[in-house]
Amino acid sequence: MRRSASLQSLLFYGLGGPIVALNVWLLSVLFRYFQNPITILSFAAILAFLLNYPVKLFERAKISRTLAVIIVLLVTLTLFVIVGVTLVPLLIDQTIQLLNKIPDWLSASQDNFIQLEAFAKQRRLPIDLRVLTSQINASIQNLVQQLASGAVGLAGTLLSGLLNLILVVVLAFYMLLYGDRVWYGLINLLPSKFRIPFTKALQLNFQNFFLSQLLLGLFMTVVLTPIFLILKVPFALLFAILIGISELIPFIGAALGIGTVVILVLLQNWWLAVQVAIATIFMQQIKDNLLAPKLLGNFIGLNPIWIFVSILMGYEIAGLLGTLVAVPIAGTIKGTFDVLKSGNSGDFMSTFTIHQDTEN
């Protein structure tokens, strides 16, 4: 019996790794093949998850779900139009200016390296920056070529993005109206013991995770914008929004956003870069230690190592979209199995009612 049990364990763990690797590879291939529709459906589902909160508030006020969805959709579209008319053109203009400035900043940083090397030679210090300066020259040439080629397709990219945004909003509208019926049909494909734990874990992780990340990112954007303006940071609004958007990627997003901004500012003014680093890290600590625990809590309950692993696997499978959904997916899997082990499906609180369609 012991030999049989040990043999089964050996087969389970021995075959588990290759099967997981094969599934990851298969998912990455499927995503690359159906990348655009999967991306649109995913963002529409995320938007529907987020808009379900205000829809529920209207339903509590004795408003029918259809009317509540229409009201929320009209308000959302109004906000999108206001942002598109006021903020988007400003961001596009600042982005174009930044891309035009980067070659000049790289050239200035190259001059600084040359001066540093001359200073080191005067002090007889063994520093040779010729390799670094040659790499900077190559980077400048590649950047200029990419800017020249990318500017040609900018209008097409903006048009494609606008069409995709319209599709996302329309799909989110239909998901809010009829998503429960579709979800009920899909969830019935799972074994009965998985249905309720999986549904509640998915709701808890996706709704709470993305709502919390959006609020944290908005906090960083709103707080850093006036700070950058006071410090006279170039492209203050663009840099603050970049850091805010990076907050959507958990665990490593904030470091990537802050690091990118600090490096860009460093190319122009090292002392200003130090001030930017201090200000952003200080606000990041306030967010992480005061706001994030209240918003996020421990509803995911994942070890930081597994968070990092899930982000890497998500990026390998689906790129940026994979990094955004990797943590809530991992939290959903963990939450489902935790509930199944405990045998108490009431550990989760559902915010979206799944009901059977009785019209048929």
- Per-residue pLDDT for 359 more than 60? no
Long-range contacts at 74-83 (CB < 8 A, ≥ 24 apart): 76/51, 76/169, 77/169, 80/165, 80/169
Quote the percentage of the chain above a pLDDT of 90: 8
pLDDT of residue 221: 92
Which two three-digit tokens encode residue 121?
């030679």
Q: Binning pLDDT at 50, 70 and 90, where does residue 280 land?
A: very high
pLDDT of residue 348: 42
Q: Binning pLDDT at 50, 70 and 90, where does residue 43 land?
A: confident
Q: Looking at residues 21-27, what average pLDDT do you find? A: 73
> Mind listing the pLDDT tens digit for each residue in 118-128?
766 776 666 66
pLDDT of residue 133: 59
Q: Looking at residues 88-104, what average pLDDT do you find? A: 80
Q: Looking at residues 325-341, what average pLDDT do you find? A: 79
- Per-residue pLDDT for 352 more than 70? no
- Per-residue pLDDT for 355 more than 50? no
pLDDT of residue 8: 63
> Mind listing the pLDDT tens digit for each residue in 53-73?
888 888 888 888 889 889 988
